[in-house]
A and B are shown apart, each in its own frame.
Chain A
Amino acid sequence: MRPLTDDETRLVFSKLAHYIGNNVVHLVDSTGEASSSSRAHENDDDDASEGKGQFVFRLHRDRVYYVDEMAMKLAGAVSREKLCSLGTCLGKFSKSGNKFRLHITALDYLSTYAKHKVWIKPNGELPFLYGGHVVKAHLGRITDDTPEHAGVVVLSMSGTPLGFGVTARSTVDTRKLDPTSIIVFHQADVGEYLRDEDTLF
């Protein structure tokens, strides 16, 4: 486990910025409030004041983990082969190390800080969860002024994050499309926890 080098940091942050824009700074400086606190049953607001600590990025075997400092220090006691995961895995680097790919496991943070969101109707949930793209017919809502090819987080109508992707068209153009055309390219969805459970970790 080691901190990220500058290059790696740049890669990771630029990828994150696709989806959360300049909210990346919240991740960097966060005290770990990045949970769906509005939905959580119990939420203590005095977290920040108590020793919750800074959250940091660490690299372990090609994967980037986002974890709070105290846990990270304790995890230092575990040897490299035996350590499997700490905090939240955000994604992993390619073998050559020059590309960073976000995993579905990062969804929680993405959805909290996302700049652009897409809500899909109930009948569109399943196709998306099976790995399909989002078509206009399933579109419920979309944040205004979403540019083309922008990273978006896909949510159900009830607000549950389902995955993320990239818009095919800007919001303005989306209105002109016919119902069968794709508006969001699928990149990751929570169905992967079942479909890809072997390869996820």
Chain B
Amino acid sequence: MGRRAKNKQAPPQPFVERSAASSSSGAAKGKRKASDAALPSSKAGGAAKAAKKAPASARPVKAAPSNGVKSGSRKEKERKALFADSAGSAEGDDDEDDGFSGIEDMSDLDEDSENDAEEAQKAGMLSDENDSDGLEYEDLDEDSDNELGDPDDRERDEEGEESDYMESGEEGEEGEEEKEGEEGEQADPLASLGLPQDGRPLTARQKKKALAEAERLEELLKSQGYSLESGDEDGEDVEQGEGSGSEPEMNEDELAFLNGEGGEGEDEDDEDEDEDSLEGEEDDGMSEDGETFTLPTLEQREAEKVRGADLQVVQMRITEVVNVLSNFKRLAPADGPSRSEYVDQLLDDICNYYGYNRYLAEKLFNLFSPAEAIEFFEANETPRPVVIRTNTLRTRRRDLAQALINRGVNLEPAGKWTKVGLQVFESSVPIGATPEYLAGHYMLQAASSFLPCVALAPQPHERVLDMASAPGGKSTYLSAMMQNTGVVFANDSNKARIKSLSANIHRLGCKNVVVCNHDGRQFPKVLGGFDRVLLDSPCSGTGVISKDPSVKMNKTERDFQLLAHLQKQLILCAIDSVNPRSKTGGYVVYSTCSVAVDEDESVVDYALKKRPNVRLVPTGIDFGRPGFKSYMGKNFDPKMDLCKRVFPHAHNVDGFFLAKLKVEPRSKVVKEDNEEKAANRGKGKGKVAAKGSDDEDEQDSEDVESEEDEAAGEAGAFGFNAEEDEALIQAAQQRVQQKKGGKAAAAGTAGKKNAVGAKTRRA
């Protein structure tokens, strides 16, 4: 159990081991996840804990190990508020905590103890036994209660870690943690990019690696004759990140020392936390001249391809080109290569370094500015945090969190935007196999998959369709939101995945779900008149590359064309399946786990054009970026910015796109854009004469929708509208006449036309 935890722990801190109580010293290695500390404490620690407990007047053990973990008391308070457990204050427990043996020599113990007191209090509130679990929970504080939408905090903590290495022996680790805590939660707005929470120890390691590589690169650069300019970027970064008095100065010095003239080494936003906003600063600080960096010539590139590029060189070149591109006028030589050549080289390097095929690299690159694109690619290399969703049909988030903590899981609420999400940092038991999981108390689900359901917001007693629902995370969420009332149709076209869909539905105790195995395009033929429809459509998966790296190589232009075609069909079917006269609903939510415009805004735009009675409405999600109103020359509906986009590098969730559409009843307006109809205008009454059979189908389904009640299904009630039939018959007649060159409409042809009319009606 402890093995995995150990693997994930932070690298050993450069400080002296504290002599004293084994468990406490072990635990006090702040960053280490508590399960590690828990082990010694739980096994041997009975006695040690007892000893500590004594002075602490039976305060739970959490106090002991957690002293090292400290982060701002504010964090605890936040967590308290989040879980709404403790009413207590009890700040005055300092004395008891001071009884910890062996830590007295550390000067910062006082602050620790104070924090510990609060933590102990809180811990006491949360769980009265199971020290280890409590430990882990406490440890989490230091990681900051990172809501997924709050990369700034993470940034800051990472900065804090960096400062640890920098200062190398300044203070105890506790001191470091202290400072982190003191800096406060609401960190300084370090731009964007947070690396995943559970990767933080790795990040620290990576950071070390990055610095080492930076040094190596400096050597490399020097050897290649580039002049190195000193950059204070990292110093600036750190300063921004921490914002507290003494440290930044230290860091700058340290960094300057370490990096020497290696200004370019610091450019590696690839490996460090990605500072988009700092790019600008770096540019100013860098002032790299065109002379010092030149694009490799054609021969050089050929040679590189033959012999295989050195990844470090490639990476360096990437950062340099990004730098140049971000300030092209100033940094590129006037007579040098054009911007497109730089971009070309950059794309080649990206393909080489990250492993994309050229088409996809270009597609993704064009979504962002060059620097942000690099961040995006970098973020795709690391996994996003594991998130679970509480099943409100069976339990409460607070109770579930408690139960899981008792089992040894490190977790926290996932963000302000959700009341049911929990982010799992580390777990000593398999999170997908706990008794709570089996009892259906939660579901493993990516954070971005919450969004479509939150946007759809189904009300109790509604009729909802989920067109592509396997493995069932969203359908079960919808069912839970409706509190097992109404009906949810969970459809999936893949028979093999239907099994896991049904299993999940039953496991989570959703009683109002009907599972069917249709192709989504068969709705609304199968059944229409839903109040809400969720279409999480099959896509290329460019937003979840971190989960499935094969996407990098195997998605081609053809794939995008096929998928876009399918998505367009599906979204039209989804729109047609909605009852526009629904009292409480009439919404379609279209979502994909892709960031490509082909599959996102294009599809929505297509739907809006094809169905003029549909309009975009706000999604109700308060984070994320708006959709693109225009892209590469294509202009979309002006309301497209009501859609939401989220990205891995900006929001630390899988890339996602979300659009919410409201379907209005179709008004009886004659369509202007069909010449045939223009000819029939005199004859057409009421509804528009069909361009083809689709409109008739839509009309039919709409008739059904308008009448529908309990028994839906088209078998119920066609209202035959004689007027409309007339119009249709006339239209069909006209068409036949035109085709035949205006032959006289004899009785025979009239008969045929009637048959034709009937057929088209039935279609």
Contacts and interface: CB of A to CB of B under 8 A. Distances in A.
B512 A71 contact: yes
B502 A85 contact: yes
Interface string B426-445: 00000011011011110000
B438 A84 contact: no
A77 B392 contact: no
Contact of A32 (B392, B460, B506, B511): B511
Interface string B402-425: 010000000000000000000000
A8 interface: no
A52 interface: yes
B505 A85 contact: yes
B515 A89 contact: no
A195 to B, nearest CB: 10
Interface in A148-201: 156, 158, 160-162, 190-191, 193-194, 197-198, 200-201
Contacts of A82: 516-518, 526
23 contacts: A32-B511, A51-B461, A52-B485, A67-B514, A71-B512, A74-B527, A75-B516, A77-B527, A79-B526, A82-B517, A82-B518, A82-B526, A84-B501, A85-B506, A86-B513, A86-B514, A129-B435, A160-B441, A190-B435, A193-B507, A194-B438, A200-B502, A201-B498
Q: Most chain-B CB neighbours within 10 Å: which of A78, A81, A197?
A: A78
Interface stretch (B155-163, B375-383, B646-654, B709-717): B709-717
Interface stretch (A16-24, A36-44, A92-100, A131-139): A36-44
A190 B509 contact: no
A47 interface: yes
B209 interface: no
Interface stretch (B20-28, B276-284, B393-401): B393-401
Interface size class of B (residues with CB under 8 A): 35 or more
Nearest to A161: B439
Contacts of B752: none
A47 B275 CA distance: 52
Contacts of B526: 77-79, 82
Contacts of B460: 44
Given A68-B512, A78-B514, A190-B507, A42 B499 contact: no
B489 interface: yes
Given A190-B507, A198-B499, A160 B512 contact: no
A40 B396 CA distance: 7
Interface of A: 32, 35-36, 39-44, 47, 50-52, 67-68, 70-71, 73-79, 81-89, 105, 108, 125-126, 129, 156, 158, 160-162, 190-191, 193-194, 197-198, 200-201
Contacts of A75: 514, 516
Contact of B506 (A43, A81, A105, A161): A105
A78 B527 contact: yes
A79 B436 CA distance: 35
B396 A41 contact: yes
B484 interface: yes
B661 interface: no
B502 A201 contact: yes
Contacts of B483: 40, 42-44
Contact of B392 (A41, A191, A193, A194): A41
B200 interface: no
Contact of B516 (A68, A73, A83, A194): A83
